[in-house]
Amino acid sequence: MINIAVFCSGNGSNLQAILDAARDGLIPCRVKLMVCDNPGAYAIKRAEDSGIPRLIVNRKDFPSREAMEERIASEVDEKNIKLICLAGYMRLLSGRFVERYAGRIINVHPALLPAFKGKSAIRDAFESGVNISGVTVHFVTEAVDSGPVILQEAVVIEKSDTIETLTEKIHKVEHRLYPQAIKLFCQNKT
C-alpha cells in the first residue's frame, strides 16, 4: 500500500471519487494528505468528513511561491507520500517542485489532450463544435497539460447536449478514470 496525496482548490468531486475508491479497496493506496490552496473550498469539508489529514495553504501567508511549495513539500515528505494527485488544483507548480517529485505527480484534465489545454477545456470543446471530447489522466511536467498520458476516454458530444450536460458527462468519466489511473500507478503499470 502506498501513501498518496490529493491537491485540490474547489469542489473536490475527484477527491471524493478517490477517497471512495480507496475506502472500498478498489485502489491499493491510502490517502494520507489533502492539500488545498483555497480556504473556502468544499473539498476541505470532504477531507474532514473522511478524517484525512489536511494542509490548507493560503498564498497570501507566504512571501513567495517557493516558500509555499516548501511548506507543502515538507508535509508530503513527512507523510512519506509516493504519489501526488492533482484534482482541480488551480495553481501552477514550479519547475523545482515538479522536478523534486518527477514522475510522481499526475493530473486529471477534462478534455482529450493535447486538444483543449487550459482552464476552460469543457467550454472550449463545447463551443468549438467538435463532437468528441473526453478526459485525460497524465503525468505532470513543467509545461502545463503536456506530460505523458496514462489513460484517456472519449465522451461524445450529442446535438442535444448543453454545457451543463456535457460537464456532467465529463465529470462522471473523470470519477471512474482517475481512480483507475491511480491503480495503474500503484501496480507499476503506467
Query: How near is the Cβ of 170 to ligand GRF at its closest, in Å?
Result: 7
Where does this chain bind ligand GRF (CB under 6 A)? 8, 10-14, 87-88, 108-110, 174
Instruction: State the catalytic residue, choosing from 109, 138, 171, 175.
Output: 109
Please, which residue, 70 or 114, has the CB nearer to ligand GRF? 114
Euclidean distance between CA atoms 7 and 180, whole angstroms: 18
**Shortest distance, CB of residue 129 to ligand GRF, whole angstroms?**
21
Half-sphere exposure for 41 (CA within 13 Å, toward CB): 28
Give Dmax over CA atoms of the chain in angstroms.
50
User: What type of residue sits at position 61?
Assistant: D
- The verdict on whether 171 is a catalytic residue reads no
DSSP β-bridge partners for residue 4: 31, 83
36 or 68: CB nearest ligand GRF? 36
Residue 69 vs 174, nearer CB to ligand GRF: 174
By CB atoms closer than 10 A (0-12, 13-18, 19+), residue 63 is exposed
**HSE toward the beta carbon, residue 116, CA cutoff 13 A:** 21
Please, what is the minimum distance in Å from the beta carbon of residue 190 to ligand GRF?
A: 18
Report, as residue numbers or ranges, the catalytic residues. Answer: 109
